[in-house]
Structure 1
Amino acid sequence: MKKVIITAIVVLVLVIGGGWIFMRMMSGGAGGNMPGQGGGMMGSGSGAVENRKTNNFSGEEKPLPIPPLLEDENPDPNKAEFTLVAQTGSMEFLKGKPTDTFGYNGNYLGPVIRVKKGDDVSIKVKNELDEATTLHWHGLEVDGEDDGGPNSGIQPGTTWNPQFTIDQNAATLWYHPHLLHKTGEHVYKGLAGLFIIDDQDSEQLDLPNEYGVNDIPLIVQDKQLDENGQFAYNLGMQDVMMGLQGDTIMVNGAINPYVEVPKGKVRFRLLNGSNARIYQFALSNSQDFYQIGTDGGLLEEPVKLSNLILSSAERAELIVDFSSYKEGETVELTDQGLPFLKFVVTGEEKGPKELPAHLVDIPQVDESMATNTRKFVMSGMGQNVTINGKQMDMDRIDEKLKLHDTEIWEITNDGMGMMGNNMGMAHPFHGHGTQFLILDRDGNPPPPNERGWKDTILVSPGEKVRAIATFDHKGLFMYHCHILEHEDAGMMGQFTVEE
């Protein structure tokens, strides 16, 4: 009875306060009736996209910053050594109003770490903040001691030095803090960066590959800047309930950016680096584009889309063809129709004339390989969010797995529970230490652009998603909602993988 009363109060507060409630917009999961297969929503196969009103193009346009590639300090071609420094900084996002920020090796965000499959990697992570932090390699398959979860705190003035071998295929991953109860604030202030893996197969494909020219990283985040230009990470009721969503969209740390792109095909490595916002990306002229990669690597073949839904922490590699544009013509990347990044086409043509029809081989899923099926039920909103009815406890291990076992994880969004499981929020579910293949959404096959490796899976209210994975790395790991305010509130659990 107490739970029902609390849930009812939550709904009432959201309605009175004008907060958005994410209603489930699809029937039949990701099957043929999925919104988007006829030109509407496309991408996650689930979830409504409801966000606060955003007003982006209100200032001077600026060139898009391209994150630098972090220098490899080891000349050995099979080894890679890097140094990352978490530090405070200042950025002038609004003219004349410097913003206090966090960054890696700079004022805001961090450099791109780029490695090859098979590399032996060593990364020295020094904390020059005046508070503890961690650094999690999101999507990287490493042992728990190197994963950088909340158990791997880095105290001020100390250095953490994880070492591991890259044993997964080419992919666009990322890194960010994962300190208990502080992840949302640290990411919001600027601690995030891309982690790119190359391999022999991807290098042999005829894909755009000139970094910063026709292979461009896009870290998309929404921010709330107060009247003094500061990041307003002061959580109100709606922020606690829904996750913090700002009214200004940034790309690579810039507001109102433009980027020059060559005629021809251009590759964009797109990360939703926001704390909570779900984006619906499209081009302003409704031009189609192709998705070639998901969270954990390339798809088997390019998938033609008119728009793409990405929840917090999801990545997508996209190809946009600018070959029909005249020099100086522009088109914009939009979120639900709102433009926030302008592409300016130059006269020079670069890259392949045609996309490869086949990209990589992804193994066929055999459910009989699974030794176990585990159920994860996400429920609630705000401070009452849970997984399987429990909130995060650092002293409790929620699940115990065996090394090298293949398991099916059944992830359900219980919505508002007794108030109706089709009401509530969509939750992006993230599992550490492995990559998943989605088996089905409510019994229907995933859409074509979700048939690749995934580490973050958006689940709509009332929806059940089944995914399969093999756990080849031992240690302690996390699973959680990747709405960072929900994670910080306790929508997270721990699992171990042991021999």
Structure 2
Amino acid sequence: MKRKILLLSFISLMTIFILSACATNDEPAPEEDSDSMGEAMDHDMEGHMDHDEEPNLTDSTGENELEIPAALGSESDKEDEVAYTVRAQKGETEIFDGTKTKTLGYNGDFLGPVLRFNKGDKVKIKTINDLDEETTFHWHGLEVPGEADGGPHESLKPGEEKVIEFEVTQEASTLWFHPHPDGETAEQVYNGLAGLIYIEDNNSEDLGLPDKYGENDIPLIFQDKTFDDEKQLNYSAAMNEDGTVGDTSLINGTLNPKLTVNQEKVRLRLLNGSNARNYTFKLNTGDSFEQIATDGGMLNEPEKLNEITLTPSERAEIVIDFSQLDAEDELALINDEDGSTLLPFEVSDQKGEDSDLPDKMNDFSITDEEKNLPVAKKVELYGMMDKVTINGKKFDPDRIDFTQEQGDTEVWEIYNKPDEMGGMVHPFHIHGAQYKVLSRDGEEPPKNEQGWKDTISVEPDETVKVAVQFKEKGVYMFHCHNLEHEDNGMMGQVKVE
């Protein structure tokens, strides 16, 4: 699926701009709309990301075996208790041979380890800020109390630490964690602060899915970067107000990666961990694969696909059967957005496990009651560059935009209002909850979105309805997960009481 980004010619843009100065708009414009958009255009469109002309990713040469993040060991010896220490720190990483690049990481120089939970676990995490700037620890996709969520209000100063505790109440899923300081999230993620969370439950363990970590169960964090002449991550030089994209692809922090696999079914846990780039994952041979999970849990049954698009922060679990693919072919996972080769596969002559995917994996459903609920909250996403808003407003940490009762299910209607440039995709994320996608422009969502989600892509002029329930109390963010848009104020707050 290609981006549906509508761009006008320069002449048309200037015509619209001139006319807009004279015309009377029957609808009240959102806060900072008309004049601010005009000011943005007056800056020669320098800050706007032309997505049709964003830099292509360089193809992976496949010269480096993919790095597999370490799985962090629990510090507790109790059966149903997990204790971790997660430290945000500065580091140096040899991304390019012979050169040390300054990076950030969790419990290491770059990116972070995998945290593993089981449903029912009592979790205690000591978070430590060893950076020289404020940061937070946000548990993206976890249903936790607001005070443990790690939003902008939970900032830790350099040298500070905090212990959070919660019980894992949700089903098996692939989640992640990253910083969320107000106005500084994009740069900290760009420089390396990101890690994965695995949740397992009785159901997932009984499904017979590939589960040998690092062998046939592979975590994949996709990010794009721009390196300067010194092979450094110079965010201030690379930053784009409409979303920072780079020309260099990293997977799990590995440059030019390849993945060696046996002739068996291999489970790939995909995370779009980029600031703003969308990925359409596809096999270069055109062969199909099966999606087994969304952001927050298993699909009811495997969904056969030839490609899948993930916007920033979205996850999907897919299974590729390498025993059925021609090992003589040059196999690779590509990004169909630009045709770039992301991850070449080297299929060994070793036979792996002979297994079948189950016909039924979950009992996810949308009830008639949920389908018939009235819209309780309307969210209008609008703007570009630093002129982005939600419902005409920028983020204010002292303002509560919505309230909702704990345990109540409400329908949120998210509309992506086109701007003078036509608009761009906004990945919409709600903290502290997994939600159900009810419809896209009034139509039933595709089957591979009929599962738990915490981020949903919304195209220009598209309306998406989701059913949202919060299990815990607290204040939670909702925002565009284009990280530059988030930092520029495309964010609001819901208080759960």
Q: So what's the TM-score if we normalise by structure 2?
A: 0.90
Task: Describe how 1:419-498 pairs up with structure 2 within 5 A.
Answer: 419=420, 423-498=422-497
Cα offset, 1:453, TM superposition: 0.4
Cα offset, 1:480, TM superposition: 0.4
Could you tell me which runs of 5 or more consecutive residues in structure 1 were left unpaired when the two chains were aligned. Answer: 22-49
Q: Does 1:68 align with 2:67?
A: no
> Is the 1:373–1:407 Cα contact (8 Å) retained in structure 2?
yes
What SS does structure 2 have at the residue aligned with 1:280?
strand
- What code does the residue aligned with 1:304 have? K
Q: Does 1:4 align with 2:5?
A: no
- Counterpart of 2:10 in structure 1 is none
- Counterpart of 2:128 in structure 1 is 126
Q: Deviations over 1:382-436 (max 9, x none)?
A: 11100000101111111111111110000000120xx37xx11110000011111
Cα offset, 1:75, TM superposition: 1.0
- Counterpart of 2:140 in structure 1 is 138
What SS does structure 2 have at the residue aligned with 1:7?
helix
Distance 1:345 1:134 in 2: 41
Distance 1:369 1:70 in 2: 44
> Is the 1:222–1:249 Cα contact (8 Å) retained in structure 2?
yes
Residue range with higher mean Cα deviation, 469-478 or 364-373: 364-373
Cα offset, 1:18, TM superposition: 8.5
Cα offset, 1:12, TM superposition: 7.0
- Counterpart of 1:414 in structure 2 is 417
- Counterpart of 1:33 in structure 2 is none
Identity of aligned residues (%): 45
Distance 1:53 1:250 in 2: 15
Q: Does 1:283 align with 2:276?
A: no
Task: Describe how 1:52-67 pairs up with structure 2 within 5 A.
Answer: 52-57=54-59, 61-67=63-69
Cα offset, 1:54, TM superposition: 2.2
- What code does the residue aligned with 2:359 have? A
Cα offset, 1:324, TM superposition: 2.7
What SS does structure 2 have at the residue aligned with 1:487?
helix
Q: Deviations over 1:39-96 (max 9, x none)?
A: xxxxxxxxxxx46222423767111000010011111110000111111000122223
Distance 1:58 1:368 in 2: 45
> Is the 1:262–1:348 Cα contact (8 Å) retained in structure 2?
yes
What SS does structure 2 have at the residue aligned with 1:186?
helix
What SS does structure 2 have at the residue aligned with 1:97?
coil
- Counterpart of 2:160 in structure 1 is 158
Cα offset, 1:235, TM superposition: 5.5
> Is the 2:60–2:257 Cα contact (8 Å) retained in structure 1?
no
Distance 1:55 1:433 in 2: 33
- Counterpart of 1:248 in structure 2 is 248
Distance 1:51 1:127 in 2: 38
Distance 1:215 1:338 in 2: 24
Distance 2:313 2:355 in 1: 31
> Is the 2:375–2:413 Cα contact (8 Å) retained in structure 1?
no
Residue range with higher mean Cα deviation, 327-336 or 372-381: 327-336
Distance 1:5 1:370 in 2: 38
- Counterpart of 2:388 in structure 1 is 385
Residue range with higher mean Cα deviation, 115-124 or 330-339: 330-339
> Is the 1:51–1:245 Cα contact (8 Å) retained in structure 2?
no
Distance 1:352 1:13 in 2: 59
Cα offset, 1:351, TM superposition: 3.3
> Is the 1:207–1:352 Cα contact (8 Å) retained in structure 2?
no
- Counterpart of 2:50 in structure 1 is 20
Distance 1:15 1:392 in 2: 24
- What code does the residue aligned with 2:182 have? L
Structural RMSD (CA): 1.9
> Is the 1:73–1:81 Cα contact (8 Å) retained in structure 2?
yes
- Counterpart of 1:38 in structure 2 is none
Task: Describe how 1:4-403 pairs up with structure 2 within 5 A.
Answer: 4-8=34-38, 10=40, 19-21=49-51, 50=52, 52-57=54-59, 61-234=63-236, 239-240=240-241, 242-325=242-325, 330-336=330-336, 337-365=339-367, 366-367=369-370, 370=373, 373-403=376-406
- Counterpart of 2:8 in structure 1 is none
What SS does structure 1 have at the residue aligned with 2:203?
helix
Q: Deviations over 1:88-112 (max 9, x none)?
A: 0001222233110000111100000
Distance 1:166 1:58 in 2: 38
- Residues 140 and 243 from structure 1, CA distance in 2 versus in 1: closer, same or farther, beyond 3 angstroms? same
Count of residue correspondences: 464
Cα offset, 1:495, TM superposition: 1.0
- Residues 178 and 208 from structure 1, CA distance in 2 versus in 1: closer, same or farther, beyond 3 angstroms? same
Distance 1:478 1:348 in 2: 47
> Is the 2:146–2:476 Cα contact (8 Å) retained in structure 1?
yes
